């Protein structure tokens, strides 16, 4: 593949470059990390990969924290997690998210399912949404023992299902919760809580301290046009702008509790996390919503550096949210 400027058809820096011959170069993203079925030596967490849907084709990485004699028969909260990466980079099987979920399962003591959804531009939105919904349906169906996934059947508490994600994954969380409010999950399973970290939302109108000048050329704007070019209403599509034209009422969102996390130095979308919190709070939805801000950190800092003291504080905050 040539890398001359003339061969480039489109690029969304710093994420991805598409060449005129149709080939794709991902400029960011972590390398593949294998699962640890026999327990991670540092955390004691076991992990394994599983195909969870054939149509659409979806796989996931499952994480089971170390069980002691005291916890052997305890049912664990289930966290279905959607990774970030602007819908076009990263992977549930990459080292970045493997390390994060491995640590999260250990520290919070949850059974985690990290979803490997398909990426743009090879698979434009709404493919990632459809994959994520298929993953949620599979998890819920396990409550009936249909697929006999032993970790979920033996160790999962289907009365405590949470969904979570960062950045683009946070956007997926919102859209899965909205869909769960309209379409029932298998076996009557409900989502108890949703956890959105530095979530990706946007609109055609600048909000808060966002610059009105050059708004249409901003990175969040360009990413959406790239990953979902057919979206009705563009960046005002309800999937990205929950109060855009024709957006469904937020009162029907399908979960009981929400935690929205923002970072003070997240210059691109911090304002949008606060905006989302405010519109949910004022929507008339009967659930509980909380906002947690770390002022001195940037976008998804907690994923890049799990040893950061503020990242540890976020893990504790998530634990208190889940075990409330």
- Could you give the residue numbers annotated as active site? 167, 266, 299
CB-count exposure of residue 324 (10 Å: 0-12, 13-18, 19+): exposed
H/E stretch holding 303 reads helix 301-304
Torsion of CA 67, 70, 71, 72, to 10 degrees: 70
Closest alpha carbon to 184 in 232, 227, 127, 143: 143
Q: Tell me the CA distances in angstroms from 133 to 80, 145, 179, one per residue in order.
A: 11, 19, 8
Which contacts qualify for 141-144: CB closer than 8 Å, 24 or more apart?
Answer: 141/186, 141/187, 143/186, 143/187, 143/189, 144/186, 144/187
3-class state of residue 168 by DSSP: helix
**Beta strands 46-54 and 76-82, pairing class:** unpaired
- Per DSSP, the three-state class of 304 is helix
Pairing of strands 46-54, 24-26: unpaired
Helix axes 309-322, 95-104, angle to 10 degrees: 50
Count CB neighbours of 44 within 10 A: 16
Look at residue 156 and give its three-state secondary structure: strand
Specify the pairing of strand 191-197 against strand 16-19: unpaired
């Amino acid at each position: 593949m040539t890398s001359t400027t003339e061969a480039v058809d489109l690029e969304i820096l710093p994420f991805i470059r598409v060449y005129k011959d149709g080939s794709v170069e991902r400029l960011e993203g972590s390398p593949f990390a294998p699962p640890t079925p026999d327990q991670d030596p540092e955390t004691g967490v076991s992990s394994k990969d599983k195909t969870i849907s054939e149509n659409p084709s979806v796989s996931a990485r499952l994480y089971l924290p170390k069980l002691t004699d005291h916890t052997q028969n305890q049912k664990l909260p289930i966290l279905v997690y959607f990774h970030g990466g602007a819908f076009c980079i990263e992977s549930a099987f990459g080292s970045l998210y493997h390390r994060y979920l491995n640590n999260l399962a250990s520290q919070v003591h949850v059974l985690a399912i990290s979803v490997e959804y398909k990426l743009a531009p090879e698979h434009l939105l709404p493919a990632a949404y459809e994959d994520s919904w298929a993953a949620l349906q599979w998890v819920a169906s396990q409550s009936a023992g249909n697929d006999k996934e032993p970790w979920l059947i033996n160790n999962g508490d289907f009365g405590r299902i949470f969904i979570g994600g960062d950045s683009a994954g946070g956007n997926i969380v919102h859209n899965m919760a909205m869909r769960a409010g309209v379409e029932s999950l298998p076996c009557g399973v409900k989502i108890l809580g949703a956890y959105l970290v530095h979530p990706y939302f946007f609109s055609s109108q600048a909000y808060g301290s966002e610059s009105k000048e050059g708004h249409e050329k901003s990175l969040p704007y360009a990413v959406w046009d790239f990953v979902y070019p057919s979206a009705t209403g563009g960046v005002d599509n309800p999937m990205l702008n929950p109060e855009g034209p024709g957006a469904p009422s937020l009162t029907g969102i399908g979960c009981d509790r929400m935690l929205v996390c923002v970072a003070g130095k997240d210059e691109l979308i911090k304002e949008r996390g606060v905006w989302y919190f405010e519109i949910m709070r004022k929507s008339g939805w009967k659930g509980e919503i909380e906002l947690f801000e770390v002022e001195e950190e940037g976008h998804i800092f907690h994923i890049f550096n799990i040893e950061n003291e503020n990242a540890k504080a976020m893990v504790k905050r998530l634990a208190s949210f889940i075990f409330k």
